[in-house]
A = this chain, B = another copy of it.
Amino acid sequence: MGNIHDIARLAGVSATTVSRVLNGHPYVSDEKRAAVLNAADQLRYEKNINAVHLARGKTETIGVILPFVSHPYFGTILGGIAAAAEKSGYKLMIVQTNYHTAQEIEAMDMLKLKQVDGLIITSRECPIELVEDYSEYGRIVLCEALSRDFLSSVFVNQYEAFKSALSFLKEKEKKNIGYTVLRMEGKSSISRKKAYEELFGELRSHWVFDQALTIEDGTRIAGEWASLTDQPDAMVITNDFVAAGFLLECRRLGFSVPGDVSVVGFDNHSISGALNMTTVELPLQQLGEIAFEQVISSETSHKEVPFQLVERGSV
């Protein structure tokens, strides 16, 4: 358990030669190579990766910022990132932020401190300008639509995806459509409202349901929906989990889906298949893989991934 110098001494060579052997560099004679390997073996040598990181100035590690690791939306993106990282021999450092700015900043500091070579931000809370300030320390990829020179991005066109769900419902003669958002003040909230008004004119604000992230949220929102006197006859719902909660609670309350209310989810998570639910498929695994390719690329890029409406039986 010595270091590279101990090996050098034992093998009768220089530390340089040891390093060359250990890293598979050329220009080492067979005898010296054998001697080094033998000495390393004898000393039960283990590289200290921190010394390598220090010397090389990089860590072959990518940081991933995500609000919740246990939510399937982020879990699936992370799965894609992890699969791509494994192929490229990169390690992954994850930071769960719970949407707290402080955690996000702490994560971005990893880039500054050279703990990670690059950063993937699956969902952002702090100002984009702040993120941009960190781009001098390493590549940053965001999973949202933007076109900044120093930040890469990979995203689904939320506006169009939402609009395609609405258009589909319009075709099906649905006139009173409600929808859910994660947060009223969120970015996607604005684009959704815009898409809605473009297709249906004025929006009744109480047809927009807030805080839609989990199955329980879906359950809750179903209750809210049920208590309305002017119930929407269709709902476009943030993701398949919320949609599942909504759909199941509606049925439990004695309503028929799609008889009384149609449901369109997002993601095409397997839960939507099991529930025979119409949804807009988002290739989240692929999005994660692309994000990883971008973060190790030397150039910034902006990539849109396609969505696709999957028609099933909830409309």
Out of B50, B86, B245, which one reaches A54, CB within 8 Å?
Answer: B50
Instruction: Of the listed stretches A12-20, A27-35, A77-85, A225-233, name the one at the interface; the rest are far from the partner chain.
Output: A77-85
- Cβ-defined contact, B75 with A244, below 8 A: no
- Cβ-defined contact, B79 with A96, below 8 A: yes
**Chain B residue with Cβ nearest A285:** B70
- Cβ-defined contact, B79 with A70, below 8 A: yes
Given contacts A48-B114, A54-B50, contact A274 B96 (CB under 8 A): no
Looking at A61, A244, A271, A274, the one whose CB has the most chain B CB atoms below 10 A away is A274
Question: Counting CB contacts under 8 A, is A130 at the interface?
Answer: no
Tell me the number of copies of this protein.
Answer: 2
Chain B residues near A274 (CB-CB < 8 A)? 215, 218-219, 244-245, 248-249
Looking at A46, A70, A78, A219, the one whose CB has the most chain B CB atoms below 10 A away is A70
Report A38-76 residues with CB < 8 Å from chain B CB.
46-51, 53-54, 59, 61, 68-72, 75-76
- Cβ-defined contact, B113 with A215, below 8 A: no
Chain B residues near A54 (CB-CB < 8 A)? 48, 50-51, 53-54
Instruction: Of the listed stretches A87-95, A153-161, A188-196, A290-298, name the one at the interface; the rest are far from the partner chain.
Output: A87-95
Given contacts A50-B53, A69-B82, contact A271 B244 (CB under 8 A): yes
- Cβ-defined contact, A72 with B72, below 8 A: yes
- Cβ-defined contact, B48 with A113, below 8 A: yes
Question: Counting CB contacts under 8 A, is A273 at the interface?
Answer: yes
- Cβ-defined contact, A93 with B96, below 8 A: no
Bound complex: CA A57 to CA B135 (Å): 29
Question: Counting CB contacts under 8 A, is A256 at the interface?
Answer: no
How many residues of chain A have a CB within 8 Å of chain B? 51
Question: Counting CB contacts under 8 A, is A279 at the interface?
Answer: no
Report A211-269 residues with CB < 8 Å from chain B CB.
214-216, 218-219, 244-245, 248-249, 252
Question: Counting CB contacts under 8 A, is A174 at the interface?
Answer: no
Question: Counting CB contacts under 8 A, is A115 at the interface?
Answer: yes
Given contacts A50-B53, A91-B93, contact A78 B82 (CB under 8 A): no
Question: Counting CB contacts under 8 A, is A310 at the interface?
Answer: no
Question: Counting CB contacts under 8 A, is A276 at the interface?
Answer: yes
Question: Counting CB contacts under 8 A, is A112 at the interface?
Answer: yes
Chain B residues near A285 (CB-CB < 8 A)? 70
Question: Counting CB contacts under 8 A, is A275 at the interface?
Answer: yes
Bound complex: CA A61 to CA B63 (Å): 13
Closest chain-B Cβ to A236's Cβ sits at a distance in Å of 19
Which 3 A-B residue pairings sit nearest by Cβ, starting from the closest? A70-B79, A49-B113, A70-B75
